[in-house]
Amino acid sequence: MRRLVVLGGGTAGTMAVNKLRKHLAPDEWSITVVDRDDDHVYQPGLLLVPFGVYTPAEIVKPRQRFLPDGVELVLAEIDRVDAAVNRVLLTDGQTLDYDFLIIASGTAPRPDQTPGMTDGEWRTSIFDFYTLAGATALRDKLARWEGGRLVVQIVEMPIKCPVAPLEFTFLADASFEERGMRDKVQITYVTPLEGAFTKPVASKHLGGMLAERNVSLEGDFMVDHIDPDTKTIVSVDEREIPFDLLVTVPLNMGADFIARSGLGDELNYVPVNKQTLLSIAHDNIFAIGDASNIPTSKAGSVAHFSIELFTDNFLEHVSGRAMTHPFDGHANCFIDSGHGKGLLIDFNYDTQPLPGKYPIPGVGPFTLLEESRLNHLGKLGFRWAYWNVLLKGRPMPIPALMSMAGKHDET
Amino acid sequence: MPVTELQGRQVHVDDEGFLTVYDEWDEDLADVLASQIGIDLTDEHWKVIRFLREDFKTVGETATARRVQTVGGVPVKEQFALFPKKPAKKMAYIAGLPKPHGCV
């Protein structure tokens, strides 16, 4: 009997075991998933909680419900992986031996990594939204906020869902307008990047959308610390930005057990081959989803596209064959822009987001890098698809590898 | 890929002037690249540049400012002092490496 252990029952881990269980005969392979709790959060929904679109209950379901028969779920904290002897040690003293290990423990916001962030003003005038507690606290704050200086800030890349802070800004602008208080709010978007986004064409389109909404952009801002007494964020090169309400995306890091196990880079991401997701250091460890160091977005869409190919690669690898399904870094994201509209972007390791139609060239129905109502409906509809199609490993009508068809290269 | 002439040599660069071929760079070229962006290279600068070159050779990606701090041992604050305003970009430019991903 060969043993597969999967660390993390989130988007990537759940999809992977649903795919793999079909191919790994139950009398030949055991599959065990480890997670610290049984709450599977639909993470794209967190962005909409502060605006009252979703309640927390609508975006959390039991992990167990999405795992197939024949997969054991162990609820425990992971102490570390001892890769030399192929063993996972849990903090409750249990151990799990494996033949193959898949690390799918994601990435998480770490407000403790920025001096001053969690001192005094945390969740009073400083909020994150990429946790259920943060999104809920921010919803309550926004409901009673009467205006002032709103600063939306990214500490450092990479972050989970790189477009989320832009979406938050668009949605906040629209929500203040709908409440008749937009003139009482000054919005500043603060980023360590040069512009609104990482890649030039999208950065120009999205930067234009910030300007249209009267949002000022402060680029190349690497935060040094936050002063909770003066309510100011201070950069390494000593620029200061005052705020009344700070919505921050803290430094994102992989799980601490990865560092304790000596398996991670400086942000606890597991270095892997970016085409196969196999660990550089260990021939029987893969890292999937946000947990790896692949140079593309940390996003559910990447997990989805990569796992389509990963499944075949894994099956080849465990039977001693070469892996023949290279991943190209394909990502796509709906970006809600407020007032019932949204955009869609589609890109990979080598090709930046470009305008055009998707997924059918020239037809759509979705438009790339341009606002439309249908893109917004696509985003809302995706929640159903996530729970009912995607997690269960059923086929989605979108190819895993990126296509240039229907796109216009503006460069 | 465009080709440009630096110090009487043909080198491959991207649209923003970052060298695209690892082995076309040498330490003489670094002085030229640095002077183009108004930096005189001191021993402190060289410590960072040599780290970036070595790190790229093993990792295959240009180190971020954080990596230069945690792995290379040069604090981000010092990187800003050495390569003002945009350290990650300037360090990569002088070291003849691709612009850091900033990650997408």
pLDDT class for A410, splitting at 50, 70, 90?
Answer: low
| Each residue's pLDDT tens digit, A292-332 | 999 889 999 999 999 999 999 999 999 999 999 999 999 88
Structure tokens at B10: 């043909």
Residue A47 lies in a domain: yes
Shortest Cα distance from A162 to chain B (angstroms)?
7
Whether residue A250 contacts residue A113, with contact meaning beta carbons closer than 8 Å, is answered with yes
CA neighbor of A192 nearest in space, from A217, A225, A156, A162: A156
Last residue of a domain, one of A318, A352, A368: A318
Chain B residues with CB inside 8 Å of A198's CB? Answer: 101-104
Average pLDDT over residues B60-70: 92
Query: Which residue of chain A comes nearest to B61, CA vs CA?
Result: A295
Residue A403 lies in a domain: no
Give DSSP secondary structure letters for A124-181.
Answer: TTEE--SSHHHHHHHHHHHHH---EEEEEEE-SS--BSTTHHHHHHHHHHHHHHHTT-
Whether residue A88 contacts residue A263, with contact meaning beta carbons closer than 8 Å, is answered with no
Q: How far is CA A217 from CA A170, A192, A336, in A?
A: 13, 11, 19
**Any idea what DSSP says for residue A298?**
B
A164 with A231, same domain: the answer is yes
CA neighbor of A258 nearest in space, from A279, A243, A234: A279
Q: How many CB atoms lie within 10 A of CB A319?
A: 7
Of residues A198 and B34, the one with the higher pLDDT is B34
pLDDT class for A351, splitting at 50, 70, 90?
Answer: confident
pLDDT class for B104, splitting at 50, 70, 90?
Answer: very low
How many CB pairs below 8 Å do chains A and B form together?
Answer: 48
Return the ∠ at Cα A213 (arms to A208 and A217), rounded to 5°: 60
| Each residue's pLDDT tens digit, A24-45 | 999 999 999 999 999 999 999 9
Average pLDDT over residues A366-373: 90
A97 with A155, same domain: the answer is no
Residue A324 lies in a domain: no
Chain B residues with CB inside 8 Å of A347's CB? Answer: 104
Residue A113 lies in a domain: no
Of residues B24 and A378, the one with the higher pLDDT is B24
pLDDT at A411: 56
For chain B, how many residues are written? 104
A51 with A170, same domain: the answer is no
Last residue of a domain, one of A217, A233, A251: A251
- Say whether A236 and B101 touch across the interface (CB within 8 A): no
A241 with A129, same domain: the answer is yes
Mean pLDDT estimate for chain A: 94
- The total of structural domains in chain A comes to 3
What percent of chain A lies above the pLDDT cut of 90? 79
Average pLDDT over residues A119-147: 97
pLDDT at A375: 86
Chain A residues with CB inside 8 Å of B84's CB? Answer: 237
Average pLDDT over residues A218-228: 96
Residue A40 lies in a domain: yes
Chain A residues with CB inside 8 Å of B66's CB? Answer: 156, 266-267
Last residue of a domain, one of A195, A217, A251: A251
Cα–Cα distance for residue pair A109/A253, rounded to 1 Å: 7
Cα–Cα distance for residue pair A121/A226, rounded to 1 Å: 10
A217 with A278, same domain: the answer is no
Cα–Cα distance for residue pair B12/B17, rounded to 1 Å: 9
Whether residue A44 contacts residue A67, with contact meaning beta carbons closer than 8 Å, is answered with no
Of residues A195 and A174, the one with the higher pLDDT is A174
Query: Which residue of chain B comes nearest to A224, CA vs CA?
Result: B77
pLDDT class for B102, splitting at 50, 70, 90?
Answer: low
Residue A402 lies in a domain: no
Whether residue A352 contacts residue A200, with contact meaning beta carbons closer than 8 Å, is answered with yes
Domain of residue A337 covers 331-390
Any residues with CB less than 8 A from the CB of A146 and at least 6 apart, and which? A181, A184
Q: How far is CA B27 from CA B7, B33, B40, B47, B94, in A?
A: 12, 10, 13, 12, 9
Asked whether the predicted pLDDT for residue A404 surpasses 60, the reply is yes
- Say whether A198 and B104 touch across the interface (CB within 8 A): yes
- Say whether B59 and A271 touch across the interface (CB within 8 A): yes
pLDDT at B1: 67
Average pLDDT over residues A157-166: 93
Which stretches of chain B sit within 8 Å of chain A by CB?
A: 15, 59, 61, 64-67, 70-71, 76-77, 80, 84-86, 89, 101-104
Asked whether the predicted pLDDT for residue B56 surpasses 50, the reply is yes
**A236, A267, A296 ranked by CB distance to B76: nearest:** A236
Shortest Cα distance from A217 to chain B (angstroms)?
16
Active site residue B103: yes
Chain A residues with CB inside 8 Å of B90's CB? Answer: none
Whether residue A42 contacts residue A22, with contact meaning beta carbons closer than 8 Å, is answered with no
Asked whether the predicted pLDDT for residue B75 surpasses 70, the reply is yes
Cα–Cα distance for residue pair B104/B102, rounded to 1 Å: 7
Neighbouring-strand partners of residue A72: A32
**A157, A271, A411 ranked by CB distance to B103: nearest:** A157
A142 with A220, same domain: the answer is yes
* CA gyration radius, chain B: 13
pLDDT class for B103, splitting at 50, 70, 90?
Answer: very low
pLDDT class for A21, splitting at 50, 70, 90?
Answer: very high
Average pLDDT over residues A392-402: 85
The enclosing domain of A240 has a CATH number of 3.50.50.60
Asked whether the predicted pLDDT for residue A352 surpasses 70, the reply is yes
